[in-house]
Chain A
């Protein structure tokens, strides 16, 4: 009995040891064309990874007792970062109130979601798992590393990433609350007031606590997690990522933020961002856009695939995101479209899926470029990543190879439903790209 217990204990302990080792790998990548993003392109260059970090980028690095990836003729670039996705989470929308700042998608992480692996197979190492867009102030989001293979949801989190929260403007909060529930907002005017109300209440909440702490007020204020969260937005600790489409509503939110002294925001989708690019640049707002989605609803009818290029050329830090478990598999191709629509240079295009999203998520000190000391999140392509013929060969997260095309059996599921005789076949939904920000609500509200 005792022996078994000890065995189990040793086994578990070993498990932890292996797990810990698995989190941070050592690899030597040989003879790649290294696309650093911040320091040009280096031909026939090696990358030495130790303890999950980039230790050295140079020619002819010698290292013993370490896994080697022979990358002759291949292209190594920073792992792709998706600033807007909904994979690896079990719940997207808490659509019960126009303000739900207290909820957190990080409480619903699903490390078994097959879409993590498929994203890795497209070179994506980090994604921003976002709350949906049903509410003007939605829930908090989680930046995850695609450590496919782990079972503990905790291990998906990118520790130390900036805290973020989802806001939403326009049709989605209006449909979800005004149209359905008969409560504000049912217009874009109402959306503005939801923010002003929430920020004002949070300011008053902070003042009550300040007064109590300074002894000015003897009564202990009631603790309110929603207000605590919004207070963290006011103090700049949480960054807003706001679902938005139309130029007017983008300007509206920037005006509201100015009034409340908030100076950090990343607009998401922001299909009409190109119309107010100078204002976005002046505010210092970021933009995270689709490469070419449009016309799937009225508020994106007057948009253009040249959005990313116009924003970039106007000095707005811009990224290209997926918001889709399909697009996330080929963000390198989505970025390449900015060469067709606006003629961005190779480096400008690649920044849209590496360093720029890293800046938008507040993780650019650690990822987004290939530099000494940064996390070893790297994807290796067989051809230049902006070519349509390019196929990811290895995707490395913290020095651990999580995708290797040469060791890639068909069925990569970790979790298999024991009641399922055959894996379910899903017909393609007609329009797979109606923005998945309303996931969870679509079925409830809009399917007949």
Chain B
């Protein structure tokens, strides 16, 4: 008798089971998140309903009813804004050791015209693996030379780069480092200084040419005349004229100070990334109001003489000194660890609220997209996850995920392999 029922249930469930390695389709529509606690960052948490419609947060109120909405019971759960990671290679890289799957590092020192958005693979296996942990938006960045290209902010759902694009692009500048590249780097201090000088000769020339190109372009526009096609220099137009943000990767204390001077001299709208020794120069960062994207937090100290917790506490020390700090992973396949990077920053001085802001509203503010992203407010894009507890804790389970208002299934290669192999069929028998 029992067997019969089991058979029947199996038969009923059969069409719902997914045997392919494809992710189930996301659902669009109107969703009413009922009875959850809404995380409002500085305004604490309130008990309220949240309505998602047209991809946006339509309303947050004590009690909403909407006849056409799909009801999502959030009782006992917490509704959070999706997390934002401002330093990843997500979508630009698939398998670490296979260069043919890596699209973030073009040849040449000066390639700012390379656009990350062009090469983002919307179907990267890494993307579902990331978003099921509550990360809804990431900045994908090119890497390599001095000006390796233009980073793009994407939402982790969509089938074309255009659908994924979240409204921010910026040129990356890898500020010449006077540090060592690794333990195998045994250059003398003199050699490092020489290399630095050489780098700067090239950068100064490039920057000078880019400025010149901008001037020529401006004049040409007045005369309505054509200018020569110089894609590398044209790409720099927005940053040399101080109209667009440039993200400057810089880490060592003396390099950060030098970069601040360079930024002021050249009137650049800068965001610093990396900033591993930011805690040593907080005065300057505050004085010149340089926003910072720091991380990973889960990384070793830069110097053998450093305190063991240097990387854990850096973000917190900068934030407490008044620097605007966002936290990144600088990862590809494990961007999913963003909440744990923020969690370590929280544990080592920052506390939950500030650390959670550092992966939501603060990055949105730094990138200038906070009118649409970074918190749960009426009119903002519905990038939301619902969890049963503190999202930094590994025991917390994420129950629902919305990106651009789509209800995204909590599935990825990792969960599929779990479902398939937890109780493998056949087991040991043939």
Contact = CB atoms under 8 A, between A and B. Distances in A.
B97 A428 contact: no
A202 interface: no
A118 B300 contact: yes
Contacts of A118: 300-301, 308
Contacts of A447: 184
B207 interface: no
Contacts of A342: 418
A418 to B, nearest CB: 14
A78 B125 CA distance: 38
22 contacts: A118-B301, A278-B424, A279-B428, A292-B336, A294-B414, A295-B96, A296-B96, A298-B98, A304-B414, A304-B418, A386-B395, A388-B393, A408-B307, A408-B308, A421-B189, A424-B304, A426-B179, A426-B182, A427-B179, A428-B251, A428-B296, A443-B184
A16 to B, nearest CB: 29
Given A423-B304, A426-B182, A339 B298 contact: no
A389 B298 contact: no
Interface in B399-430: 413-415, 417-418, 421-422, 424, 427-428
B268 to A, nearest CB: 22
A9 to B, nearest CB: 35
B394 A277 contact: no
Interface string B215-245: 0000000000000000000000000000000
Contacts of B276: 428
A306 B184 contact: no
A309 B340 contact: no
Nearest to A294: B333
Nearest to A425: B179
Interface of A: 114, 117-118, 121, 171, 274-275, 277-279, 282, 292-298, 301-306, 309-310, 313, 325-326, 329-330, 333, 336-337, 339-342, 386-391, 408-413, 421, 423-432, 434, 443, 447
Contacts of B303: 423-426
B123 interface: no
B306 interface: yes
A296 B417 contact: no
B104 to A, nearest CB: 10
Given A295-B126, A304-B417, A310-B421, A413 B97 contact: no
A390 B390 CA distance: 14
B305 A423 contact: yes
Interface string B250-261: 011100000000
A304 B413 contact: yes
B393 A387 contact: yes
Contacts of B333: 294-296
A329 B251 CA distance: 22
B334 interface: yes
B348 interface: yes
- Which residue of B96, B253, B340 has the most chain A CB atoms within 10 A of its CB atom? B96
Given A292-B336, A429-B181, 8 more contacts: A171-B97, A294-B334, A304-B417, A306-B415, A306-B417, A410-B306, A424-B180, A426-B302
B316 interface: no
A424 B184 CA distance: 12
For the complex of A and B, list the 9 residue pairs with the smallest distance between their C-beta atoms, beginning with the closest.
Answer: A296-B96, A388-B343, A306-B418, A295-B333, A425-B179, A410-B307, A297-B97, A423-B305, A304-B417
Contacts of B96: 295-297, 431, 434
B95 interface: yes
A352 B267 CA distance: 53
A326 B308 CA distance: 11
Given A277-B424, A298-B95, A333-B340, A413 B305 contact: yes
